[in-house]
Structure 1
Amino acid sequence: MRRGHTKSRFGCKQCKKRKVKCDEAKPSCLKCVSRRQQCTYVQTTLPSPISPASTATPSLSSSTTAAFPAQPQRQPVKDWVAPLSSTSTHDAASSLHGPSFSEAKYTLLHLEILDHLRSQRLGFNELQNPAFDKFLELAFAEAYQTPYLMDEMLAFAAAYKSTLVTGDLQHLYRTESIRLQTRAVSQVDFDRPPDSGSLAPFLFSTFLGQHVLFDVFSSTLDFAKSLDKLIQCFNLHHGIRSTASKSWEIVRHLMYSDPSADYTVSRTLVPLTTEGSHCDGLIDHLEHSGLDQQTLSTYSQTVKVLQYLFDSVHSSDTRRMTALQEWPIRISTEYIQLLQQRRPEALVVLAYYGVLLHYAREYWAVGDSGRLLVSSISNHLGDYWADWLVWPQQEVERI
C-alpha cells in the first residue's frame, strides 16, 4: 500500500522552499517565527484568522515609533467573534454560513488568557487599590466593544503568562503576545479624534506603554542595543501622551469619586517645588559641570520630574508602577536627543530612573532591570563618573 501523505498541503512559501513541514499557523508559522523571517501564504478562499504582519515586536519597530498610520475604523467585537445565539432557529442556522462565524478572531487560547487576566488582576492580586480595580473594570467593559483594546489587553496578559512558565509554553505565550500586539496596533487610527465619551484610546495607550516597557526590560541585548531600544520606547511614549490626554478628563471622572482631588495619573505640570532630596547630589554635579545654559535647563527640568516621582512613589504601592510609565511620558524631546547622543550626564540621569525601576522590582514587567540598568551605565561610563553615580548604586544595593 502507498504511504499516507504527511506533507503540509497549505504550508507557507518559506517552509515549502526549505522543504520542511509547516504547522500552517497564521499569520506566521512557528518555524518562521523562530527564524525571525517573514511568513507568507498562497492566497486561498478562506480568510486567515489574523492579518499577515511582521513577527518583530511592533512597539519598537521604526514604523511604530513614528506616527501610527491611519487604519480602517474599529469594528465592534460582535463582528469579530462567531455569534453564540440568535433570535430564531432560521437566523441561527444561517449565521453558521455568515462572514462573522468564518472570520472569528479569538480562540480557546485567548479565552484562557482572558480568564487569567481577570483572575490574577495582571499579577496584582496583593495590591489593594480602589482606583486600580476601577481601571480594570472600565478596561473590560470597553474592551468588549473595542477589538483593538481587547487585543492589546490579551497581548499584555500573554506577556505576563510568559513570565510564569518556561520552555515551549513560554515561547507560545510570547509569540501570541507579539501577534496580538501587532494586530492591535494595525487597527488604531491615532490621527482620528476619539469619540465623545470613548475611553478606549486612554486605556489602550496605558496597556501599550506598559507592554513596551516589558519588551525593553526583558530583552537580553548588549547595553548599546538595549539603550537604542529604550530610546525608541521613550519616543513612543510621547505619542502615547498625546493620545491618552484626549480621553483623560473622561477617565478621571469615572475612576475617582472626587475628580478634583489629587490623582494617580496627572496631566498637570510638575509642581514648582519638590519635597525630597534624592536628586540633590545630581543637581549639584550638573550645576558645577560647565554645561551651556540650554543643556543645563534641559537636564534640570528632567531631574525635577524625577524628584517629583521619587516624592510620589512613597504615597502608595500603585505609584511605584505608574511612575515607571509617567517619567518617559513627561521627559522632553531635548533630553531624549541628549540620551541618543550618549551624553554622559544624560546617562547618569537615566541611572536615577533605574532607581525608580528598582523600587518597582516586584512588578513582573520590571524585575531586576533597575539594578542591571544602573550597573550597565556605571560600567559604560567608567571611574571618571563614579562620583555622579554613588547614590543610584547605593540605592539599588541597599534595598
Structure 2
Amino acid sequence: MSHRECIYGASDRDTPVSLAPSEFYLQFHEREHSKFSSSESFTTNNLQNDGTRSSPDVGSNLDSSQKQNQIRPTHPDQSGLSSIDDNVNFNHMELIIHLFIDHDVFSLGLGDPSFATGPSLSVALKKGLQFPYLLYQCLAFSSLHLGFVRSDKSSMYKHQAATLQTRALSLFNSMGTNVDESNCVSILLFSGVLGLHLLTDTLAERALGSLDAFVAKYVQCIEIHRGVYSIAIAAWPYLVNSELEPMISSSSRFTSRTPTGDDSQILCKLVESSSSLREEDKKACLEMIRYLQIGFDAVSTELEEGYKHYMIYTWLMLAPPKFTDLLTAKTPEALVLLAYYAVLLFHGRNLWQVGDSGLYIIRNITEYLGPKWQTWLDFPQKKIIQD
C-alpha cells in the first residue's frame, strides 16, 4: 500500500523528525478576519524578515477586565495554564463544556466517527494541558462552532476563535518541531483540528466574489492539510503505539478501500482523453478521482454513517502537489474534479462546517467554464436538481 492509499501510511523513519511548521502552517498568514473591525482583527501575519514568527501577545488586545481572566502561564516556556490563584475564565470554561456536550462540533470526525463521544476528545484535552497549543486550538474550534449556532453572538464568538487560533499557532511555533514519542499525539491532534478549522473557514467564505479568489484560498487550505499528512507520516512509528492507534487504523482502512461505484467513471474518460494534461498530471487527477469514488460509495451506503462524509475532510489531505498546481492554474479538468468534490459537499450540506458550499462551488465553476464543458458537468448539476 502506498502512502497515498491511506492518510496515515507507515513510514520507514525510526528517529525523531524535524518538521518546519512555517512550510505549511504559516502559508495561511494572509488569512484575514476582515469581517471584524480593525481593532478586533486577529491574523497570523507575524512573519519576521528571517522567516521566523513573532509571538503575538493576545493579552495586549484585551481590556483590563479581560486580562484579569486571561489564561496565564505557570511555566516560562508554556503559556496557557492558569495559576490556582487566578479567577476562573468563564469564556474558556464555556468552550470546554461545549466540546463535551455538543457532539456536532466534530461531526467530520478527524479519522474517528465517534471522536466527540469516544475517548479521543478526552485524550485531546488531557494532552492540551501538557501542550497548550492543542488546548488553545480546541477552544478556538469550539468558539467557531458557537458562532455558528448562536447567530446573535456570531461576531463575538468568531472573534474569540480567531484570537485563540492565533495564540495556538504562536505557541506551536515556539515549542520546536521535533516529532517524537512524547509529542506525536498532541501534534497530530493539533494539526487535525487546525485543518478542520481552516476548511470550515474556507467553505464559509462568500465575500471573495470570484472563483479565482476562492480557488486560491482552497488551494491554500489543501497545502495546510498536506502538512497534516506529512506529520502523520513522520510520526507513524510512534502513533501506532499511542492512544490514537484505533483512529489512525480505522482511517487507513477507509482510504485504502477499492472503489465500487461508477459515479466518477466519466471523469476518468475526461482525464485519460485530455490532450492538454501531461502524464504526471493525469496520474495525479486519477488518484484524486479514486478518492472521490470512495467518498461517493460511502455516501450511498446506509451502513456508512460514521464515514459517510469523511472524504470531505480527507480529500484535501490526500491531494498530490501536481493536482494543486492544476487547480492553481484553474485547469478545466481540475475544476471539473472540484465540481465533483462539491457533490460530496452538497450531500453533507447539513453539516455545520459545509452548509451551502457545494452549491456555491458548482455554480461558480459552471459559470467559469461555460457551455463547452457542460457535458462534463452534467453529473454535479443533476445531483443538485435530484436532491
- Stretch deviating more after TM superposition (207-216 or 278-287): 278-287
Alignment of 1:333 onto 2:321: yes
**Who is 1:10 aligned against?**
none
Separation in 1 of the partners of 2:140 and 2:148?
13
Equivalent residues in 2 for 1:308-327 (5 A)?
A: 308-313=294-299, 314=301, 316-327=304-315
SS of corresponding position for 1:163: helix
Alignment of 1:266-277 (within 5 A): 266=252, 270=256, 273-277=258-262
How far did residue 338 of structure 1 move? 0.8
TM-score, scaled relative to structure 2: 0.73
Looking at structure 2, the residues matched to 338 and 126 of structure 1 have their Cα atoms a distance apart, in angstroms, of 27
CA displacement 1:109-152 (0-9 Å, x = unmatched): 11111111111124468999556512212212212222110100
Partner in structure 1 of residue 275 of structure 2: 290
Does residue 1:358 correspond to 2:346, yes or no? yes
Question: Relative to structure 1, is the Cα distance of residues 268 and 116 closer, same or farther in structure 2, using a 3 angstrom cutoff?
Answer: closer
Partner of 2:165: 181
Q: Are residues 1:279 and 2:264 paired?
A: yes
Partners of 1:68 and 1:121 lie apart in 2 by: 37
Match of 1:9 in 2: none
What is aligned with 1:55?
42
Alignment length (residue pairs): 326
CA contact (8 A) 2:137 2:194 kept: yes
Pairing partner for 2:365 from 366, 377, 381: 377
Offset at residue 236 of structure 1 (A): 1.2
Distance 1:238 1:129 in 2: 21
Q: 1:237 aligns to what?
A: 225
CA contact (8 A) 1:234 1:329 kept: yes
Q: Partner letter of residue 35 of structure 1?
A: S
**Pairing 1:83–2:83 present:** yes
Equivalent residue number for residue 305 of structure 1: 291
Contact 1:264 1:319 in 2 (8 A): no
Secondary structure at the aligned position of 2:179 is classed as coil
Alignment root-mean-square deviation, CA: 3.6
Equivalent-residue separation in structure 1 for 2:91 and 2:325 (angstroms):
42
The worse-fitting range, judged by mean Cα deviation, of 386-395 and 153-162 is 386-395
RCO comparison, higher one (Cα < 8 Å, 6+): 2
Mapped partners of 2:201, 2:270: distance in 1: 33
Closer/same/farther in 2, CA of residues 372 and 116 from structure 1, 3 Å limit: same
Q: Which moved more, 1:297-306 or 1:285-294?
A: 285-294
- Compare 299-308 and 178-187 and name the one that shifted more: 299-308
* Cα distance in 2 between the residues matched to 1:138 and 1:116: 16
Shift of 1:227: 1.6
1:291-345 per-position Cα deviation (integer Å, ceiling 9, x unaligned): 3333322222221222233334545223234322211111110110111011111
1:1-399 aligned within 5 A: 34-36=36-38, 55-56=42-43, 58=44, 80-84=80-84, 101=86, 107-123=89-105, 129-130=113-114, 133-167=118-152, 169-189=153-173, 192-198=177-183, 199-220=185-206, 221-222=208-209, 223-248=211-236, 250-251=238-239, 263-266=249-252, 270=256, 273-291=258-276, 292-313=278-299, 314=301, 316-399=304-387
Counterpart secondary structure, 1:320:
coil
For 1:281 and 1:243, locate their aligned partners in 2 and report how far apart those are by CA, in whole Å. Answer: 34
Partner amino acid, structure 1, of 2:133: Y
Partner of residue 6, structure 2: none
Check conservation: 1:299, 1:335, Cα contact below 8 A.
Answer: yes
The Cα offsets for residues 22-53 of structure 1, whole Å up to 9 and x where unpaired, read as xxxxxxxxxx983336x8xxxxxxxxxxxxxx
Gaps of 5+ in 2: 1-33, 56-73
> Counterparts of 2:262 and 2:252 in 1: how far apart (Å)?
22
What amino acid does structure 2 have at the position aligned with 1:172?
Answer: M
Question: One-letter code of the match for 1:297?
Answer: K
* Equivalence for 2:63: none
Over the matched positions of the two proteins, sequence identity in percent amounts to 26
Contact 2:339 2:362 in 1 (8 A): yes
Separation in structure 2 between the aligned mates of residue 371 and residue 148 of structure 1, nearest angstrom: 35
1:228/1:135 Cα in 2 relative to 1: closer, same or farther (>3 Å)? same
Taking a change above 3 Å as real, the CA distance of residues 312 and 34 of structure 1, as seen in their structure-2 partners, is closer
Matched letter for residue 80 of structure 1:
G
Structure 1 alignment gaps of length 5 or more: 1-31, 40-53, 85-95
- In 1: Cα distance, 2:120 partner to 2:304 partner: 16
Q: 1:250 Cα deviation (Å)? A: 4.9
